[in-house]
Every structure is written in structure tokens, then in C-alpha cells.
Amino acid sequence: MSVLGGRSMTAHLARSVVGLLLVIVAGWAGTAGMAWAATPITGLEPDLHHAGLVVRHGDGRVTYAYVPFEEDAISGIDLLKRSGISHVTISFGGLGEGVCSLEGEGCPAAECRRSVCQGPGANAPFWQYFRQSAPGEWRPLTLGASSTKVRDGDVDGWSWTGHEAGLPAVSLADVARLAGVPLNDEGQGGDLPALQTVYPPGVAPLAAEEGQGTMVYVVAGGLLVLIGGGAVYAARRRRVGEDAEG
Amino acid sequence: MSGHGRTDLDARAWLLWGVAASLPPLLGRNPFVLTATLLAVLGVRAAMAPSDAEGALAWNGIVRLAAVFASVGTLFNVLTAHLGDRPFASVPDSLPIIGGPLTLNALVYGLLSGSALLTLVLVGTTLGAALDWPALARLLPARLSTVAVAGAVAWAFIPQTVVALREIREAQAARGYRARGGRDLVPLLVPLLAGGLERAVTLAEALESRGFSSSSDQQDWTSAGPPWRAVLAALGLAGTLLGAYLLAAETPIAALTTIGFSAVALAVAGADKRNPRRRTRYRHTHWRQRDSVVAGTAIIVVAAVVITLAADPRAIRYDPYPSLIPPRVNLGLLAALTLLLSPVLVAPVRPSGSPSAKTSRSVQRVPLP
């Protein structure tokens, strides 16, 4: 009886598993079918949108970035990340991300976490986020870059400043031109982001800092070994003293 | 008590050493500087800290706790700081806070911060074990004696609690009691709390009997000196705390200025010759040559750190974001940091079994000034 009961239960389990698998496969097929049905039958690539980004540094140099994106809208932080501009951001949880440094200007992450790089002075500079509502009219976006929607044709700006934006008046076509992107007849750029930095008179590109030679690190390692040897010597001296006492 | 603790070093020399050893981990995250400081502190701790079961257990528990916090902090940093150019894994973005790329940059920063925390705790525990708190309390001016007493009580609180916890657990284990859940902690915490209160009352009575009460000041203001000295002392203490915060907030110039003004304020407040309280002492402290060596080397280290911070800040500060670049090395600073081993080299170490060390330990249990 027990054997028959066991076989019956095994068969029941097998039928249940097969049924469950069928349901999963049917669901997957249905989902895939709907996705296929939703695909445009024209087979054309989805339209690319474009937005501009202007980054103004404290020394006056300005970086222009022309960024394509497929979505209808992306956040200001996504625009920054997709632009290719080197950046450091930190998360403030539900408030989104804060920008600590752009292209090497800003503050370390630890300081950024405390004050978002803002110094104690009233006009102490930090990375401020703006959007150009009309050419030359930059208004600050106080909600932060994570909460801002960037749509086709928008031009956002970041400025290392404590008060005024100081950003140039540019259209999206200007940004594309200054970033070195050729536009087609429809005024559209390519599908890859591009950026370029423009230096004002008297400002030179930042020279890459030269690394220290290997010998410096070897000597530093030797000093660390010396200190470690001193620590071991101290411990052994202590142990010998205790053994002598014992 | 001779004024020199179990290490035959003056309390002031130890304090200067503590300041010098604490500055590098407070001011930056340069791996070379942190490693040099950590090794030097470990060496001094290995030579000077007590190795007897009671003292070691009390302070090693704190070090272990710091190591746990450092590990948790490192893990937290890796999971939440999705910065840097060296990703090694990824967490699905659908997970809040921890979703995103995990980077080596965050791991390095977490490890460095953990090392800094561990170094600071090791400095504190080494001072706690080696410093002669009663001698330090006697060195302070009479007006600041209550501050010294409060510091001594606060510093002794954690190791005393650890020792008491161990004794209670051993006593309960000897009676066959085993804690299995949260409710079983009550029989452990109640005697711990009662024991702590009892120790505090005993300590307060002992201090009263030794003239560390402030009642004389309250009864006779004229004999205690003008009240502005008390205000100055309070301002000096508040300024010292503010300076410590500014130092931790990586604003060294403002911090050192604040601490300097606070030191002057405390010195003026403490220079009160009219205070009627006089304490007799059987043996006076003597500043010896070895104290000068330790204090001098500590001052050299502090000067090297401050000068390097002003002239070559990246040799002290290091930020692995956004690129994991090799840290900058300042050989002069590293050479200066070797001087942190000076207590080991100049102070004769008393083994824990020596009579003088036993005397020190007995005082350490109830830190009476």
C-alpha cells in the first residue's frame, strides 16, 4: 500500500511540476509576444534625443559636452555620467547624488559627504547646477541633478561658483559645435557623446602630475620595514623581560 | 607612586606622544603615513601595554570592538559608495542604496578609514594602559582638578566595566548559569549596573577624602579667586573640544589656532596662586632625560606633520576617488614618524610581574588621584 501510495504521490508531484513549467513557459511566451507586438514594425532605430552640458571651472575654462540619449527624459546626473566628463558623486540616499568634483576640481569624497564641498565663507564656491531657460538665462536647480528631468534640446550647466552662474549663453547647436560634433541637415548630431574644453586667454591645460619614481617607493617601503622591525623588537624585548622575571 | 607610571615616563611626555600619534590618522588617509603610524603605535603598545590577563582583557576588548567597527565600515563603504574607476562587481540597481557597481576605490577608502580608526583606538588604549592618571591629575592646576578627576573616571570606565562583566560572567558560569537569549541578559546587566554605581560611589568618597571636592570654592569665592578665571577655564575647555572637532573636520589651521587660544586660556585660568587648596605629596615628579627625548621627538613629529600638511598636503591626504592612483610619498615625514617609537627605545619596560607594576595596577583599578 505504501509503495503504491508513494508511486501515486510521485506521479502527482511530477504532474504538478510539469504543469507549473507549462504555466511559466506560457507566461514567458505571452510576455515575449507582447514585447514583439509592441516593437515598431518599421524596424527603424528609435529616435535619438540630444542635450547639452556646459561645465565652467573656477579658472574660467569651460567644457562643452553633447550627449545623445534614447529615453524621452533622463536625470541631470545621468546626463553628466553619460557625457564622459570625469566626475565624483556621492549618494545622499533619497535626496539623490551630490557632485563632489568635475574634471579634478572639487573636494574629496569625505569632505563632500559633510558639506558637498561648500566652504564656510558666504561666497565659497561649490559645484552648482543650472539650466538655461533662454540663451544666457541660467537658473539654479535647487532640487538637485538626480531629481531633474533632461529632455531633448535642454542645455544644463555646472559651475564652480559661490554666487553667479558665470556660464556662457549657448544654444544646443553651439554646444555641439564647441564640442566638435558635426550636425546633419536636421540639426542632429551623432549617436556618441562628445566633449571639448575651451580655455580662456592665460589659462593653460592642467599638466598631468608626474608620478614619483620607483626608488622613492622602495625607500618608503624600507622605512616601513624599519618601523615594523622596531615594533617586533619592542615586542620581543618585552617578552624576554617577562621570561627573565618569570 | 612616583609620578611615572608603569613605564617610567612622565605623564606629560605620554600625552605629547599621544597627540603626535593621533595627528596623522586624524588629518589624512595616506596609506604610507597610516601604515607607519599604525606600526609605531603597535610597537609601543606591544612594549608598554599590560600583558597581564586583567589589563589585557580590558583594553584588548576595545581594540577588538574597533576592529569589528572598522570591518563593518569597510563593508558599508564598498556597498554604498559606488564611485571610482575600478569596478570589480555589480549589485542590481533595483536594490536600494547598495545597487550599483562595487569598486576597488571604495574598498581602498574603507580599508584606509578602518586603519585610521584602529590606529586612533590603539593610541587611546595605549595611553589608557601606560599613562599614570593620578600623576596627571596632580600635575594639573587646582582649578582644573575636577576636570582631571572627571577625565580619570571617564577613561577608567570602559576597562573597569569590561573587567566587571568578565567577573560577573565567570561567577554566573561557576553557578551553572548559561545565557541563551535576550531575556537571560537581565541577570547579567543588573549586577553590572549595580557594580558600576557602587564603584562610582566608592570613587567619589575616595576623592572627597583626598580634597578633590569643589565645595570650598562654592563657599568662599574670594579665597578661590575671581570668577572670571572659572569662566576662562570653561571657555578654554570648550575651545579645546571645538579645536578637536575642527581637526577632525580637516580644517587644521582653524583647529590649531583654536587649540592654541584654548591652551592660553587654560594656562591663565590655572595660574591661580590664591587657591587655598594645598595637597601634600610624598614623592614629587621629576622630569628626566628620557621624558625630554620622548616629548622632543613627539614635538618633531607634530611639526613634521603640520609642515607637510601645509607644503605637501597630498603626502598626508589621499583620496582614491575617482582614480586609484599611487599615493604620494614624503620620505621626510615617514622618517619623522619613526620617532614615534621613541618610548620603546628610551624607557625601560617594567615587566608586568614586577612589584612596581603590580603597585601601578592596583592603583589603576581604582584611579584615585
Residues B196 and B70 in one domain: yes
Query: Lowest mean pLDDT: which of A7-11, B162-166, B186-190?
Result: A7-11
Chain A neighbors of B39, CB-CB under 8 A: 224, 227-228, 230-231
Domain ranges in chain A?
1-44, 49-198
Please name the amino acid found at residue A76: G
Q: Are B315 and B36 in contact (CB under 8 A)?
A: no
Picking from A49-53, A189-193, B129-133, which range would have the lowest pLDDT averaged per residue? B129-133
Same domain flag for B252 and B113: no
Asked whether the predicted pLDDT for residue A61 surpasses 90, the reply is: yes
Q: What is the pLDDT of residues B222-237, one digit of tens each?
A: 455 567 878 888 899 8
**Cross-strand pairs, A69:** A49
Question: What pLDDT sits at residue B315?
Answer: 93
Cβ of A237 and B344 within 8 Å?
Answer: yes
- Under the banding of pLDDT at 50, 70 and 90, the label for residue B213 is low
Of B47, B80, B334, the CB nearest to A234: B47
Section B96-102 average pLDDT: 84
For residues B32 and A222, give the distance between their C-alpha atoms in angstroms, rounded to a whole number.
11
Phi, psi of A160 (to 5 degrees): -85, 90
Cell 584615585, located at residue: B368
Do B311 and B182 lie in one domain? The reply is: yes
B352 pLDDT exceeds 60? no
Q: Are residues B129 and B44 in the same domain?
A: yes
Q: Tens digit of pLDDT for each residue in A215-234?
A: 999 999 999 999 999 888 88
Closest CA of chain A from B158, distance in Å: 25
B219 alpha carbon, distance to own chain's centre = 35
CA distance B27 to B116: 10
Distance CA A89, CA B180 (A): 46
- How remote is the C-alpha of B194 from its chain's centroid? 27
Lowest mean pLDDT across B57-66, B116-125, B275-284 = B275-284
pLDDT digits (tens, 9 = 90+) for A108-152: 877 788 788 887 777 889 999 999 988 889 999 888 899 899 999
CA distance B36 to B30: 10
Provide the 8-state DSSP code for B314. Answer: G
Residue A6 contacts B, CB cutoff 8 Å: no
Write the Ramachandran bin of A151: left for phi over 0, alpha for psi from -120 to 50, otherwise beta: beta
Helix segments in chain B, DSSP class H: 11-27, 31-48, 53-80, 104-130, 133-139, 145-174, 186-209, 215-219, 221-224, 227-248, 252-270, 289-311, 331-337, 342-346, 355-365
Across A29-33, A80-84, A164-168, B180-184, least confident range: A29-33
Q: What are phi and psi of B141, to 5 degrees?
A: -60, 160
What residues contact residue B279 under an 8 Å CB cut-off, 6+ apart? Answer: B138, B142, B210, B211
- pLDDT for A33: 54
Pair B44, B344: CB distance under 8 Å: yes
Give residue B205's identity as a one-letter amino acid code.
Answer: E
Sheet of A97-102, strands arranged across? A87-91, A97-102, A105-106
Q: Determine which of A28-37, B182-191, B275-284 has the lowest per-residue pLDDT on average.
A: A28-37
CA B150 from centre of chain: 15
In terms of domains, do B245 and B355 share one? no
Task: Give how many domains chain B has, as a whole number.
Answer: 2
Q: Please tell me which residue of chain A has the smallest CA distance to B347.
A: A234
Amino acid code (one letter) for A19? G
Using pLDDT thresholds of 50, 70 and 90, give the confidence band for residue B2. very low
Flag whether pLDDT at A50 surpasses 60.
yes
B162 plus B215 within the same structural domain = yes
Residue B181 lies in a domain: yes
Give the pLDDT score at B362: 37
Average predicted confidence (pLDDT) for chain B:
79
Please indicate, yes or no, whether residues B141 and B265 belong to a single structural domain of this protein. no
Question: B96 in a domain, yes or no?
Answer: yes
CB–CB of A223 and B335 under 8 A?
yes
Q: Let me know whether B265 and B141 are in one domain.
A: no
Residue A213: per-residue pLDDT: 87
From B211, B236, B271, give the residue that closes a domain: B271
- Report the candidate in B29, B93, B26, B35 with the shortest Cα–Cα distance to residue B321: B29
**Residues B128-175: pLDDT tens digits?**
888 777 777 777 776 676 776 777 677 777 777 877 888 888 888 888
Q: Contacts of residue A237 in chain B, CB cutoff 8 Å?
A: 47, 344, 349
B358 and B299 within one domain = yes
Q: CB–CB of A102/A79 below 8 Å?
A: no
pLDDT (0 to 100) of residue A218: 94
Confidence tier at B366 by pLDDT (50, 70, 90): very low
Q: Does the pLDDT value for residue B252 go beyond 50?
A: yes
Percentage above 90 pLDDT, chain B: 29
Final residue of a domain: which of B212, B236, B271?
A: B271
Q: How many CB atoms lie within 10 A of CB B266?
A: 22
Q: Examine the domain organization and report whether B74 and B210 are in the same domain.
A: yes
Residue A153 clears pLDDT 80, i.e. is over it: yes
d(CA A238, CA B14) in angstroms, rounded, equals 19
**DSSP per-residue letters across B5-42:** -TTS-BHHHHHHHHHHHHHHHHH---HHHHHHHHHHHH
∠ Cα A115 A116 A118 (to 5°): 70
Answer yes or no: is pLDDT of B255 > 90. Answer: no
B104 has a pLDDT exceeding 50: yes
Q: How confident is the model at residue A240 (pLDDT cuts 50, 70, 90)?
A: confident
Q: How far apart are CA A212 and CA B326, in angstroms?
A: 9
* Position B143 in a domain: yes
Residue scoring higher pLDDT (B80 or B204): B80
Which of the two residues, A152 and B198, has the higher pLDDT score?
A152
Q: What pLDDT is stored for residue B212 in this prediction?
A: 65
CB pairs under 8 A between A and B: 106
Q: d(Cα B317, Cα B149) in Å, to the nearest integer?
A: 36
User: What is the spatial distance between Cα B349 and Cα B357, in angstroms, rounded to a whole number?
Assistant: 10
The answer on pLDDT for A39 being more than 70 is no
Residue B267's domain comprises 226-271
Instruction: Tell me what pLDDT residue A4 has.
Output: 43
Residue B3 lies in a domain: no
| Amino acid A170: pLDDT | 92
B204 and B254 in a single domain? The answer is no
If we measure between CA atoms, which residue out of A46, A51, A44 comes closest to residue A68?
Answer: A51
Cα(A146)–Cα(A78) distance, integer angstroms = 8
| Residue A90 φ/ψ, nearest 5 degrees | -130, 150
Thinking of the domain A49-198, which architecture would CATH place it in? Answer: Beta Complex (2.170)
H helix intervals, chain A: 2-38, 76-83, 109-115, 172-178, 214-245
Three-state DSSP at B318 gives coil
> Mean pLDDT: which of A64-78, A184-198, B56-70, B213-227 is highest?
A64-78
Taking residues B317-332, what's their average pLDDT?
89
Whole-number Å distance between alpha carbons of B327 and B333: 14
- Using a CB-CB distance cutoff of 8 angstroms, which residues of chain B are in contact with residue A217? 326, 329
Q: Based on the domain organization, do B130 and B185 belong to the same domain?
A: yes
Does A196 have pLDDT greater than 50?
Answer: yes
| Confidence (pLDDT) at B6 | 54
Q: Quick check: is B352 in a domain?
A: yes
Chain A residues closer than 8 Å to B334 by CB: 220, 223-224
Produce one character per residue of A28-37: b if its CB has 16 or more CB atoms within 10 Å, e if not: eeeeeeeeee
Q: Is A86 on the interface with B (CB under 8 A)?
A: yes
Candidates B302, B255, B248, B369; CA nearest to B18 is: B302
Q: For residue B322, what is the nearest residue in chain A, using CA coordinates?
A: A88
Query: What confidence score (pLDDT) does residue B4 get?
Result: 47
pLDDT above 70: residue B17: yes
Q: Which residue has the higher pLDDT, A45 or B52?
A: B52
pLDDT tens digits for range A73-116: 999 999 999 999 988 888 887 788 889 999 889 888 777 887 88
Across the interface, whether the CB atoms of B83 and A234 are under 8 A apart is answered no
